Amino acid sequence: MSVVWESKCTICRRAGVKLYLKGERCYTKKCALERRNYPPGQHGPRQRERKLSEYGEQLREKQKLRQIYQIRERQFRRYVENAQRARGVTGEMLLRQLEMRLDNVVYRLGFAVSRGQARQMVSHRFITVNGRRINIPSYQVREGDVISIHESKRNTVLGKEAIARAAEHTPPPWLSYDPTTVQGKVLHPPTADEIRLDAEIDLQKIIEFYSR
């Protein structure tokens, strides 16, 4: 499992925008970016005024997207390379791969308050795909796959909270959820219009960064 050792609030402050890495806390006044809207470090307030180079802008956009999905650089680079080889617009192909990760789908279905919690649920064998337990957060779901919480986990505190949360959540158009069976389904791969990122991202700058 990929672990982000750095404080999530520090990551958002460095990016200069909310990446919603801590779920519901990010919507409250406890959010660090609300209280200290400048980069971390001794010279933080002054860094905000610095103009980034073209490379710096590309790096910032890449880091923002990578940190939204909470994956390491090596794995992110593989996603970019796969997107460059695929037919279609490279940026859209990249987002599709990221969205169809199992941990992201668990988050999009409303089972988890953040992708970090979704990753934990997958790793701790809470999640099934087509009735089979999967504990690999990066597992790529496919059209028609059915995602659910394993029956042995439904009576745990986390399981009950996840089921209650999903029942009140509206998933994106490419997913469906049936609260009576506690099952979500992948209707089709997401299109660019169906993907709502947690922050504004310039995908072209990311592709340019890896094309240098």
Q: What is the pLDDT of residues 26-75, one digit of tens each?
A: 556 555 555 556 566 555 555 555 678 999 899 999 999 999 999 999 99
Phi-psi region of 211 (alpha: psi -120 to 50; beta: other; left: phi over 0): alpha
| Identity at 196, one-letter amino acid code | R
> Is 1 a domain residue?
no
- Cα–Cα distance for residue pair 203/95, rounded to 1 Å: 9
- Report the predicted TM-score, pTM, of the whole model to 2 decimal places: 0.79
Q: What is the largest CA-CA distance in the chain?
A: 54
How far apart, in Å, are the Cα atoms of 60 and each of 12, 201, 203?
11, 10, 11
CATH number at residue 168: 3.10.290.10
Same domain, 82 and 146: no
CA angle 192, 197, 202 (to 5 degrees): 75
Same domain, 86 and 130: no
169 touches 177 (CB < 8 A)? yes
Same domain, 41 and 93: yes
Same domain, 25 and 67: yes
Q: Which secondary structure element, helix H or strand E, spans residue 127, and what is its range?
A: strand 127-129
Range of the domain at 144: 101-188
72-87 confidence digits (pLDDT tens): 999 999 999 999 999 9
CB-based burial of residue 3 (10 Å sphere; 0-12 exposed, 13-18 middle, 19+ buried)?
exposed
Q: Which secondary structure element, helix H or strand E, spans residue 185, and what is its range?
A: strand 183-186
- pLDDT less than 70: residues of the chain: 1-50
Number of domains in the chain: 2
**Residue 2: its pLDDT value, please?**
47
- Cα–Cα distance for residue pair 202/65, rounded to 1 Å: 9
Which residue in the block uniquely carries the two structure tokens 């999009």? 108
**Residue 51: its pLDDT value, please?**
79
> Is 138 a domain residue?
yes
Same domain, 92 and 13: yes
- Cα–Cα distance for residue pair 129/196, rounded to 1 Å: 24
Same domain, 158 and 202: no
Same domain, 171 and 111: yes
**Residue 25: its pLDDT value, please?**
56
> Is 131 a domain residue?
yes
